[in-house]
Structure 1
Amino acid sequence: MRSFLLPILFSCALTPVFAQSAGVDYKVYSTTLKKEVTIDDIVKDVVAGQVLIFGEQHDDSIGHLLERNIFAALEGRFGKDLVLSMEMFHRDVQYIVDEYLAGQISEKNFIKEARAWDTYKSDYRPTVEFAKEHGLPVIAANAPSRYTNLVTRKGLGALDGLSKEVKKKYIAPLPVDTLTGIYYDKFLEAMGGHTTPGMNLYQSQNFWDATMSYSIAEAMKKNKHAVVFQMNGRFHSEYHSGLAGRLERVYKKKVTTISTFAPADFAAPDWAAYAPLADYIIVTRPAVKKTEEE
């Protein structure tokens, strides 16, 4: 299940593209320094024991290319202390992800049985393959869609009826709270200013974020020096709310956020308008779009 808010075809070449596309295909802005910076600056700003969240626009090919290259640059700094965490896989397929990374199952079986997104090969495969080649863990962070759907249909209270095994293995600890403030406001804005009966859809968004933040926190327990590179739709982490806010508030993690999208004003971005979204804003050239799968 994709985030309810929602690439030139993606090249699978593994050569970093920072130099040849910076300023042409993408621009990076630091909201702290209030100036344009580089991808290297983002990577240099990361410290051991923190989470770097890449909030993506799902149909942005340049953004997906940057995900792979930022992850590769982080590996150059942190080596085996680096962890990849992904919204795009659910906790109940973690063992399948692990089997693939260990070379025990074929990619065909991995894609099918881990329920990879339709755009996996073009958008996410390069980053996962880099993790595989370098022996880095990949966290299937999201709640299984059947439980998210349960919340959407019946509300968060319906999770109480799940088995002890499901509660222990596949979802965030209960109860899950629902956020107020800007996260709620942006949800209503995305819904056209209207609520849904019982706000169950909003509750499912909060459940989704709670499970992803829990997955990341659990992974970091295994290595206090770990750096987690989390990939998710940008709604889940903008304004340091959603997933990002939960990591900071509940799990006391240092979090740096990136928001990436393709705006109409790419040639002369309104950085002041975008600054509240994240610690780093990456705008990409809107002409580069993926129209269909290879």
Structure 2
Amino acid sequence: MKLLRTLTLLLTGLLFSLSASAQKTAEPVAYRLVDSVGRPVTFDKIITRAAGADVVFFGELHNNPISHWMQLRVLEALQQRKGKNLTLGLEMLEADIQLILDEYLAKTISPKSYGDEARLWPNYETDYDPVVYFAKDHGLRVIATNVPRRYADLVNRKGLPALDSLSAEAKRYLPPLPIAFQSTEQSAGMFAAMGALVHGDKKKEKRYLEEAQAIKDATMGYRISQHLHPQHTFLHLNGSYHSLQNGGIIPYLRRYAPKTRIVTITTVLQEDVQALEEAYRGMADFILIVPEDMTRTH
């Protein structure tokens, strides 16, 4: 009887242990890094590829904290490999504030003056100041790559030909005109949805939306091309749309600098980060998968 009671207790304990094990809570995962077809990849491998490139495009989701955290980690790792042979460029800074940016990096003007005059994005302090500050602290060049927004707005209202009326001084902040604009299936789909929200001549307004996007991409491509140097790497931070599937900025950059070696990184949201969804395959050389329920920075 005593032996039976002992066996019963042991079996009960074992069953309880198995039940508890089966109910164990899954470990939270903040991100996963994979290559273009979804194979797991190490951070070190990404940095090795990036350090051998002329330009690295890191496509972010503007309000995603993991995107911004990983951008800083990539910048730090590249700086360890490249030293001062590294340039940082940002879509979030416009070409006509380059002097202000240079003065801030050189500590000629105060952070307050920089903030007052540089037309910074509302989320700059949390999301972009860390990378710019790192570059400043390590003596790296930072390039404001985007078109001044007033000219993007001009194109949005009147189309690309309106840029021809600008002064020679204004055109200093633009790529050579006319740009080689061609509507793509990707942009057409995106802007068709946007065009459905506006009134008037939908076809014309949709095209102007596409052209406004194109002048941004062309300007960023041209600005990057003007700051490439042998043995240097240019890390460019931009919204993921601007470099998905080697589109957006990249065709323009290849026009201005055809032999440029490019590596792309992009960010996607998935309910489950364990495996890359089929729809995201081929979006970039490397893909940062982030949970859909990740908190937002704004």
- TM-score if structure 1 supplies the norm length? 0.84
Q: Does 1:27 align with 2:35?
A: no
Q: Is the 8 A contact 2:91 2:146 kept in 1?
A: yes
Structure 2 counterpart of 1:200, one-letter code: Y
Structure 2 match to 1:269: 276
Task: Write the distance in 2 (CA, Å) between the matches of 1:248 and 1:29.
Answer: 26
Structure 2 match to 1:183: 186
Structure 1 match to 2:110: 106
Q: Which of 152, 159, 177 does residue 156 from structure 2 map onto?
A: 152
Counterpart secondary structure, 2:253: helix
Q: Does 1:50 align with 2:58?
A: no
Q: Report how far residue 28 of structure 1 moved.
A: 0.9
Counterpart secondary structure, 2:40: strand
Once the two structures are superposed, the pairs formed by residues 121-160 of structure 1 within 5 Å of their partners are 121-160=125-164
Task: Write the distance in 2 (CA, Å) between the matches of 1:230 and 1:83.
Answer: 8
Task: Write the distance in 2 (CA, Å) between the matches of 1:236 and 1:187.
Answer: 12
Once the two structures are superposed, the pairs formed by residues 137-286 of structure 1 within 5 Å of their partners are 137-167=141-171, 169-188=172-191, 190-191=193-194, 196-198=203-205, 199-220=207-228, 223-252=229-258, 253-270=260-277, 272-286=278-292
Where structure 1 has 5 or more consecutive residues not aligned to the other structure, the ranges are: 1-22
Q: Report how far residue 183 of structure 1 moved.
A: 3.4
Task: Write the distance in 1 (CA, Å) between the matches of 2:247 and 2:99.
Answer: 29
Q: Does 1:118 align with 2:122?
A: yes
Q: Deviations over 1:99-131 (max 9, x none)?
A: 111111111211221111000011111101100
Where structure 2 has 5 or more consecutive residues not aligned to the other structure, the ranges are: 1-27
Task: Write the distance in 2 (CA, Å) between the matches of 1:244 and 1:97.
Answer: 24
Could you say if the C-alpha distance between residues 288 and 166 of structure 1 is closer, same or farther in structure 2, counting changes exceeding 3 Å? same
- TM-score if structure 2 supplies the norm length? 0.83
Q: Report how far residue 258 of structure 1 moved.
A: 1.0
Task: Write the distance in 1 (CA, Å) between the matches of 2:154 and 2:103.
Answer: 28
Structure 1 counterpart of 2:284, one-letter code: A
Task: Write the distance in 2 (CA, Å) between the matches of 1:81 and 1:230.
Answer: 14
Counterpart secondary structure, 1:86: strand
- Identity percentage over the alignment? 38
User: Following superposition, which runs of at least 4 residues in structure 1 exceed 4 angstroms of deviation?
Assistant: 192-196
